Amino acid sequence: MPLPERFRPASGLPEGIRLATSWLTVLPVRGPADVNRDAGGRAITATPVVGAGLGAVAALVAWLGTAAALPAVLVGLLTVAAHALLTRGMHIDGLSDTIDGLGCYGPPERAQAVMKSGGAGPFGVAALVITLGAQGVAIGELANRGWCATIVIAMFTGRVAVVGACRVGGHAASPDGFGALVAGTQRIGVIASWTVASVAVAVFAVPGRWWQGPIAVALALVLASLFAAHCVKRFGGLPGDVLGACIEVTTTVVLVACLIG
């Protein structure tokens, strides 16, 4: 699958991180000239690294907004907007398409057709409003409390969920598209390593309650796994849009769960 010039090899970063960055952000990072399942698998393995970087940028935006004495809700919404711009809105588009597909009747082929239609239906719009609204309010409150590290951890964990969704044994919903490049590429050892890392760093998510962050992360990853499994069953395999949905759902659960209590 040939890619445009901006995605062609550049020195500096490992191939997996380069490709993951070119896929998941607007940054002008070049990936390999030809992308096969091996390259796609390495990119998915490196996705949490990119997630940590995106989380750091989001935390910086939130901190700057708070330092400027903006209202907490506005800080959160601006941070969500900045994150959407930095990721080309791909993840929220994936969430909208996935929920629209889940909300329709008919066989997997019908659900896939709805996802590919290009428009946003009522289910997708509702999912976006609720998810992005919850993220904005939560991020604003976290920044107001000075818990910016929690924002990084949540976005990092969202990308760990993607690694889990692409576990070995899974299959793509169609023979072409993004899902065909990455479905079934991640081994249990890789998934376990990233899961342990996300739970470990989550001890810093909630100051004064070291246990709450790991519980929030573990809960989010379990829910993401169940959600991905349901989507695979409903769509007859893993479409690429489901990965974006997993990111948004997992990130939201971690952000909200860390505010409980």
Q: Cβ distance 213 to 67 under 8 Å?
A: no
Q: Tell me the β-bridge partners of 167.
A: 186
Cα end-to-end distance, the chain, whole Å: 49
Q: What is the pLDDT of residues 160-171, one digit of tens each?
A: 999 999 998 888
pLDDT at 1: 36
DSSP 244-259: HHHHHHHHHHHHHHTT
pLDDT at 105: 86
Q: Which residue has the tokens 């989010």?
A: 220
Which residue from 187, 191, 194, 193 is spatially nearest to 168, judged by alpha carbons?
Answer: 187
Q: Hey, CA dihedral for 188, 254, 155, 95, is it positive or negative? A: positive
Q: Which stretches of the chain score pLDDT less than 50?
A: 1-12
d(CA 46, CA 67): 32
Q: Give how far Cα 231 sits from Cα of 99, 172, 259, Å.
A: 10, 11, 28
Q: What is the pLDDT of residues 206-256, one digit of tens each?
A: 999 999 999 999 999 999 999 999 999 999 999 999 999 999 999 999 999
Q: Cβ distance 151 to 143 under 8 Å?
A: yes
Q: Cβ distance 176 to 239 under 8 Å?
A: no
Q: Quick one: DSSP state of residue 2?
A: B
Q: Give how far Cα 197 sits from Cα of 47, 214, 217, 218, Å.
A: 13, 10, 10, 11
pLDDT at 107: 87
> Exposed, middle or buried by CB within 10 Å (0-12, 13-18, 19+), for 133?
middle
pLDDT at 140: 98
Which residue from 84, 13, 62 is spatially nearest to 42, judged by alpha carbons?
Answer: 13
**135, 80, 73, 65: CA torsion to nearest 10:** 130
Those residues whose C-beta lies under 8 Å from the C-beta of residue 108, and which sit 6 or more positions away, are 173, 234, 235, 236, 237
